[in-house]
């Protein structure tokens, strides 16, 4: 930007400010301070400004000290809001206008048994009966067919390298691998 352009812009802004100041000054000037073709004295200008300040302070204190008068609310009558004067229901202007009908929520999944809490430790086959050694939360359990463990698991079958449990609350079978039958 050249210095000439800069001075043109600054001059334009100055003239716009002066025009705005002239147009905005629409306060009535007291008769004492009006000029009659001569230059106003410094004391007249300062007294006019002082009188404006005092007047503004008086107006603000009057507004601040004025009591607030609110009208009394009308007494509430027992009005049925669900019906209008004609006896029809009012129309809600904010209602949903979509024709889409949401599908019903899906059915909750069928409950399932928790994973088996047992760890296989070993087994013992003696006299045609097989006993399996299990670890359950740090406790060692010896189980055979027909035993009920903790009131929730019953041993259904021990054969073919698998031990079958029945989870009694849901009547669901679960299998634990126990190795081969050798």
Segments forming the whole domain that contains residue 126:
119-177
**Does a structural domain hold residue 99?**
no
Reported as a single tens digit per residue, the pLDDT across 32-71 is 655 555 555 555 556 766 777 666 666 655 555 556 677 7
Q: What 3-state class would DSSP assign to 172? A: strand
What is the C-alpha separation between 147 and 126, in angstroms, rounded? 17
**Does a structural domain hold residue 150?**
yes
**Does a structural domain hold residue 157?**
yes
**Predicted TM-score (pTM) of this structure:** 0.44
> Tokens representing 173?
């079978």
pLDDT (mean) for 76-103: 71
Domain CATH code at residue 127: 2.30.30
Q: State the total domains in the chain.
A: 1
Contact 1, 7 (CB under 8 A): no
**Does a structural domain hold residue 3?**
no
**Does a structural domain hold residue 57?**
no
Distance, CA of 151 to chain centre: 45
pLDDT (mean) for 115-126: 93
What is the C-alpha separation between 128 and 125, in angstroms, rounded? 7
**Does a structural domain hold residue 46?**
no
**Does a structural domain hold residue 130?**
yes
**Does a structural domain hold residue 139?**
yes
């Amino acid at each position: 930007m050249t210095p000439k352009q800069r001075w043109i812009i600054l001059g334009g802004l100055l003239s716009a400010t002066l025009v705005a100041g002239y147009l905005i000054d629409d306060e009535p000037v007291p008769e004492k301070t009006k000029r009659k073709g001569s230059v106003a004295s410094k004391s007249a200008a300062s007294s006019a400004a002082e009188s404006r300040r005092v007047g503004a302070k008086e107006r603000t204190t009057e507004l601040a000290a004025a009591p607030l008068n609110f009208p009394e609310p009308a007494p509430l009558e027992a009005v049925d809001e669900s019906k209008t004067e004609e006896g029809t229901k009012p129309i809600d202007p904010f209602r949903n206008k979509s024709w889409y009908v949401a599908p019903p929520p899906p059915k909750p999944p069928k409950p399932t048994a928790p994973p088996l809490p047992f760890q296989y430790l070993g087994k013992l086959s003696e006299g045609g009966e097989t006993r399996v050694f299990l670890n359950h939360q740090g406790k060692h359990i010896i189980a055979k067919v027909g035993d009920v463990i903790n009131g929730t698991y019953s041993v259904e079958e021990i054969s073919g390298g698998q031990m079958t449990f029945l989870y009694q609350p849901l009547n669901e079978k679960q299998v634990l691998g126990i190795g081969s039958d050798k």
